Amino acid sequence: MNRLRRKSLDKIEKVAIRATRFIGSTESLLLHTVLFVGSFVFYFFGAPLEEVLLVLTTIVSLEAIYLSIFIQMTVNRQARKLHAVARDVEEIQEDVEDIQKDVEEIQEDVEEIEKDVDEIQEDVEEIQEEDEEEEKEDKKDEEILSRIEDTMGKLIEEVIELRKQQENKK
């Protein structure tokens, strides 16, 4: 039932839209002028002027009533469209605000990541410094071991020589 009523209202609204479009045209102006001037032709064919004016006034009054209704329907239709556009604009504004919040959150995340990267970079530098110090210590240890080996080698040679000398003395 509502669907049927809505269809009939849509048809009436379409008629109102067409009527207001026509009424606002040059063709309508010309047609009304011709009808207005043409109505006085009846006076020249013997109709009393009072009756011509009465009929003309009645027709013009009825037309004015219908025109005002059609125009109001068009205004209401435009108001509904504007209201829908306003709702769309509000939704878009809300979406933009949500996007701005998301961007701010992303910026905060990026700043936190930058801090983390800086900390990691500092840790890497510390590790590199520690590695360099360990390498230096390892080189020192190798040098010390090398000296100890040299010294041990010399000592062993001396011990061997001393044994030989003792054996020779015996």
pLDDT tens digit sequence for 17-72:
888 888 888 998 899 899 989 988 999 999 999 999 999 999 999 989 988 888 88
pLDDT at 72: 87
pTM of the model: 0.50
| 98, 102, 103, 106, 107 from 111: Cα distances, Å | 20, 14, 12, 9, 6
CA–CA distance, 9 with 4 (Å, rounded to integer): 9
Q: What residue has token string 């067409």?
A: 18
pLDDT, average across residues 139-147:
86
pLDDT of residue 112: 94
pLDDT at 5 over 80: no
Q: Are 73 and 16 in contact (CB under 8 A)?
A: yes
> How confident is the model at residue 21, as a pLDDT?
84
Identity of residue 40: F
Gap between the Cα atoms of 77 and 59, Å rounded: 27
Identify the sign of the CA torsion 37, 42, 45, 48.
Answer: negative
Put residue 48 in one of left, alpha, beta given phi > 0 → left and psi -120 to 50 → alpha.
beta
For 68-89, the pLDDT digits (tens) are: 888 888 888 889 899 999 999 9
Pick from 28, 7, 32: nearest CA to 18: 28
